[in-house]
Amino acid sequence: MSQPNQFKEHWLRPLLFFGNNTISLIGGALTSASAILLIGFWVIDTIGHGGSNNPYLGLVLTFALPALFVVGLLLIPVGIFLRRSELKKAGKIPSVFPQIDLRDPIFRHGIDFVLVATFLNVVIVGTASYRAVDHMDSAEFCGATCHVAMGPEWTAYKVSSHSHVPCVSCHIGSGVQSFVEAKVNGTKQLVEVALNTFPRPIESPVKNLRPARDICEGCHTPAKFIGEKLIVKTSYSDDEKNSSTRTLVLLHLGGRDSLSHLTGIHGVHLGHIEYVSSDEKRQTISMVSKRNEDGSFTDFVSSDAKNPTVGARRVMDCIDCHNRASHTFQDPGEALNRAMAEGAPSASLPFIHKKGMELIKGTYKTQAEAADKITSGLNDFYRTSYPAVYSSERAYVDQAAKALVAIYSTNVFPEMGVTWGLHPNNVGHTTSTGCFRCHDGSHMDKKGNAITQDCSTCHNLLAVDDVNPKLLVDLGIK
């Protein structure tokens, strides 16, 4: 007998005999049904007419269907095993399995079909696993599928300069090790999401974030930012007219100059500064250690710290300043000023700055409640205090209400415990401690020299809260 036929004789006969049971047959049906659906979906997806961005559909197609497929596949041997033990217990296993006639061409082709199907199954499971892993790497999966858990970060990410950078570029990166670590971690988090036990808010800083050198410097070269950056800010007051002022700051961003010297904000911190923080959020810095060019260290110790060397030690990198890269949650004042400078809420509405601040800083249980109360609160205010404005400028009131709701719902997520100020931004020092965690004038070396707080080392203040800075007129900036 030839090899294939021997195989068919010795293996297939018992297999077919035991395989003829309800569980295995259901398994077979499940497997083939999900296989057909999956292949159909992949073909449509490849041709490009899939067209659905629904993250839940993605979840069904990438995880549920393949899972069903595998379950079906597993049911087949389970059924065979059960039937075999059942028959064995009853002593009904035949000594000779029913004859199958290999000379019958229909039957022979049927068996060839089973062999081909098995091969196809391997291909399908392989492709499905690959696609599932690939899907888990997409921003939609990270951000939108875990809708509740990642809501705040996803919302901030979508409006950031990094909205086209996949989450994994910063959170996982390349290499087998980080891949495996991420999948292990990710699976744990998936389970937490499924069981609804994930932390609220999600902890920050991210402990296992890869070094900024690996993630940020793949796209940004700090040494390339040479020179100055002009920042123009508009602020509004709480008076009826919402009077505005301008502040102009020329930041000495620096970088590497033509003689290869590192200068300015970007130039002086990277690679040779370590610090110890006494809190989880790295907001209270008790000691800063700087490696000098001759290899010696200068330690700057905070005069407020009791045990300055106790705590997590960290080499300063991009993320110590840009801790909110891609997920910037604003300060309420800053957010409202920026929105008003862009035209909505319109500064033509009396007291809109004062009233708007009051509404966005209110306490609400959900974003939906906030949207309702902010909208009705603003309408009530104008209806009762400024009826004439309310009737003639109704469109502006509606627009202002929408803008206030947008400010609230991109920054505050009561369901996730993300409130104003939960995630301070370390770039700057006006809305959070930021640079002044070290540059506060009280981090001293042994000789009594402090890390500088001299305003002009970081920037030239070209105008501070000036009603109409002449410089803006000269520069032609409105």
Output the smallest distance, CB 2 to ligand HEC, in A. Answer: 57
Q: How far is the CB of 376 from ligand HEC (least distance, A)?
A: 30
Of the two residues 118 and 449, which places its CB atom closer to ligand HEC in the complex?
A: 449
Q: Rounded distance, CA 254 to CA 218, Å?
A: 20
145-169 burial string, b = 16+ CB within 10 Å, else e?
bbeebbbbbbbbbeeeebeebebbb
Least Å distance, CB 430 to ligand HEC, is 4
Instruction: Please report how close the Cβ of residue 159 comes to ligand HEC at its closest, in angstroms.
Output: 10
Nearer to ligand HEC, 204 or 242 (CB): 204
Q: Whose Cβ is closer to ligand HEC: residue 35's or residue 146's? A: 146
Locate tokens 């060397």: which residue?
Answer: 309
CB atoms within 10 A of CB 297: 11
Q: C-beta of 173: minimal distance to ligand HEC in Å?
A: 9
Beta strands in 211-334 (DSSP E): 228-236, 244-252, 255-256, 262-263, 273-277, 285-291, 297-302, 312-315
Cβ-based nearer residue to ligand HEC, 72 or 434:
434
- Taking Cα atoms as reference points, which of 302, 261, 254, 245 lies closest to residue 278? 302
- Report how far residue 452's alpha carbon sits from residue 444's, in angstroms, rounded to the nearest whole number: 10
Q: Which CB, 11 or 297, lies closer to ligand HEC?
A: 297
Q: Rank residues 391 and 452 by Cβ distance to ligand HEC and give the closer one.
A: 452
Output the smallest distance, CB 310 to ligand HEC, in A. Answer: 16
The tokens of 250 are what? 């020329």
In sequence order, what are the residues at sequence separation of 6 or more whose Cβ sits closer than 8 angstroms to the Cβ of residue 259?
none
> Which is closer to ligand HEC, CB of 175 or CB of 387?
175
Q: Which residues pair with 252 in a beta bridge?
A: 228
Q: Which helix (H) or strand (E) holds 87?
A: helix 65-89
Tell the smallest beta-carbon distance from residue 226 to ligand HEC (Å): 10
* Size of the chain, expressed as the number of residues it contains: 478
Q: Which run of H or of E encompasses 326?
A: none
